[in-house]
Amino acid sequence: MSSVLKALSCADGYDPESLHVERARSLILDLLAPVAGNQRVFVREALDRVLAADAISPIDVPAHDNSAMDGWALRFGDLAAEGETRLRIAGTAYAGRAFEGELGAGAAVRIMTGAVLPHGVDCVVVQEVARVEGDCVVIPPKQRVGQNTRRAGEDVRAGQPAVPAGRRLRPAEIGVIASLGVAEVTVRRRVRVALFSTGDELCSIGSPLTPGAVYDSNRYTLWGMLTRLGCEVIDMGVVRDDPAALEAAFRDAAACADAIITSGGVSVGEADFVKQLMARLGEVAFWKIAMKPGRPMAFGRIEPGGAERPGAWLFGLPGNPVAVMVTFYQFVRPALLRLSGVDPMPPVPAFTARCTEPMKKNPGRTEYQRGILSRDADGWVVRPTGAQGSGVLRSMADADCFIVLEHERGAVAAGEMVTVQPMAALA
């Protein structure tokens, strides 16, 4: 038995004829490791890339003690214990232009946000509560030592990691790295994903439909989801139901990609040669996952042969458009994040909302209904988009969340609480 299939078969609770969603996801993730290879890129090119090495700060951040507010910089010890305090105005400190004098006892400096604190200053009073009278400023009581000040290195100390390796870089992380004065970072290379659709019935967009044909939408939705994940996409088009053509496609994909995604050809009743071909070229398990939509799925590796052709992970997705998207989000997305080196794996945000309409559901499978979120006076509410068939791609276009109906749950009555996954969190 192959190493992949052996690892799967030896896993606790493994049943390829009825696999829970959570079990299938964990089995996949347990077998994957980040792809090898790093790149050095400019910070502006690092958005959505995965940091390969800690971003070490060469400086303290902030670099100096500074003011967090516009106001008055002073020594807390000069303030009266009770009542107002009058302090002499000694000058002004600007951001980028420090107060050059010596702040003596009983004096205050007008200070702007970000300006360096004069020596000895340990308190900044916001300008809104103070008042100027001639050459003095009047400070009200009840101030606190250290208020409205930022100390050097309180965000990051020089020599410490500012952003850890494994983090997928968002705009906030890009800003943090830029604040260090760092122009380049080391990131993991992009995961290369080859994709193709299978089926004689598929027609390319821009061509007239022939009798019995359908336009190939799956490659376009997959391309969009992969691009948003930051993958390097290799689009291999449509491969007809021909053993020689399919074998060539699998070999070519495995030779140039880290992962292969196909749609179609994994359901019960599909041409036997597709499954036989997948199994012959690699180590592929065919699963029936206890979910709707997206029950049939293939997972494993395709080995093209030869020492210089290491092979690729295979995700054989169903052919129905909605099932493609659901299985991608629930299984392929976390797998690609693991391959890209994201660590720790980010949880998918989920919360409960009140369902406004009844929904049919049989216990024994997890269902992903497409829903629309809104709020009322009592909190979040959700309603289904309408027809929920796995071929109704419009249900995905109209939706902003998945309504997740758990494995053992039955029918949902109007007004019951349900779990929702916002689709914005899956990008």
Residues 188-216 have pLDDT tens digits of: 999 999 999 988 888 888 888 888 888 88
Q: Quick one: tokens of 153?
A: 């290195």
Q: How far apart (Å, rounded) are the C-alpha atoms in residues 316 and 287?
A: 10
Domain boundaries, the chain: 3-37+190-339, 39-61+165-188, 66-150, 351-426
Residue with the bigger pLDDT between 309 and 81: it is 81
Confidence band (pLDDT; 50, 70, 90) for 76?
very high
Q: Provide the pairing of β-strand 366-376 with 401-405.
A: antiparallel
- 2.40.50.100, 3.40.50.11540, 2.60.40.10, 2.170.190.11: CATH of 66-150: 2.170.190.11
Inform me whether the pLDDT recorded for 308 exceeds 90.
Answer: no
Does the structure show a pLDDT above 60 at 154?
yes
Pick the CATH number of 351-426 from 3.30.565.10, 1.10.10.1100, 1.10.287.1260, 2.40.340.10: 2.40.340.10
Token pair for 299: 């997972």
Of the CATH numbers 3.90.105.10, 2.40.10.10, 3.50.90.10, 3.40.50.300, which one belongs to the domain with range 39-61+165-188?
Answer: 3.90.105.10
Q: Are 24 and 146 in contact (CB under 8 A)?
A: no
Q: Going by DSSP bridges, is the β-strand pair 351-355/417-422 parallel, antiparallel, or unpaired?
A: antiparallel
Q: Which of 22-31, 45-54, 163-172, 200-209 has the lowest average pLDDT? A: 200-209
| Mean pLDDT, rounded, of the chain | 92
pLDDT per position as a tens digit, 60-74:
999 999 999 999 999
Looking at the DSSP bridge assignments, the partners of residue 137 are 87, 132
Q: Is the peptide bond before 344 cis (omega within 30 degrees of 0)?
A: yes
Cα 315 to Cα 286: distance, rounded to the nearest angstrom: 10
Tokens of 13: 């609770």
- As a residue count, the chain comes to 427
Which pLDDT does position 273 carry in this prediction? 66
Tell me the per-residue pLDDT of 134-153, one tens digit each, with 9 for 90 and over. 999 999 999 999 999 999 99
> 209: which 2 tokens?
């439909």
Contacts of 198 (CB under 8 A, 6+ apart): 238, 239, 240, 241, 246, 262, 263, 264, 265, 274, 319
| Cα–Cα dist 51/112, whole Å | 35
* pLDDT at 63 (0 to 100): 93
Q: Is 323 helix (H, G, I), strand (E, B) or coil?
A: helix
Is the CA virtual torsion 66, 68, 74, 78 positive or negative? negative
- Contact criterion met (CB below 8 Å) for 262 and 318: no
- What residues pair up with 64 in beta bridges, in sequence order? none
Residue 311 corresponds to which amino acid?
G
Q: What is the DSSP letter of 330?
A: I
Q: Is the pLDDT of residue 367 over 80?
A: yes
Q: Do domains 3-37+190-339 and 66-150 have the same CATH topology?
A: no
Each residue of 158-170: b (16+ CB within 10 Å) or e? Answer: eeeebbebbbbbe
In CATH, what number does 3-37+190-339 get? Answer: 3.40.980.10
Percentage, residues of the chain above pLDDT 90: 77
Q: Give 272 or 327, the one with higher predicted confidence.
A: 327
Using CA atoms, how far apart are residues 327 and 296, in angstroms rounded to an integer? 10
Helix axes 243-256, 272-281, angle to 10 degrees: 30
Q: What's the pLDDT at 85?
A: 97
Q: Does pLDDT of 1 surpass 70?
A: no
Q: What is the pLDDT of residue 306?
A: 55
Distance of CA 116 to the CA centre of its chain: 37
Give me the phi and psi of 174, to 5 degrees please.
-60, -45
Q: Which two tokens stand for residue 122?
A: 């340990």
Largest Cα span, the chain: 93
**Percent of the chain topping pLDDT 70:** 96
Among all chains, which residue has been given the structure tokens 């420090």?
Answer: 98
Predicted pLDDT at 94: 96
Rounded to whole angstroms, the Cα distance separating 164 from 329 reads 26
Q: Judge contact between 124 and 72, C-beta under 8 A.
A: yes
pLDDT tier for residue 257 given thresholds of 50, 70 and 90: very high
Strand, helix or coil for residue 304: coil
Contact between 403 and 382 under an 8 Å Cβ cutoff? The reply is: yes
Structure token digits, residue 98: 């420090």
pLDDT for the residue 8: 84
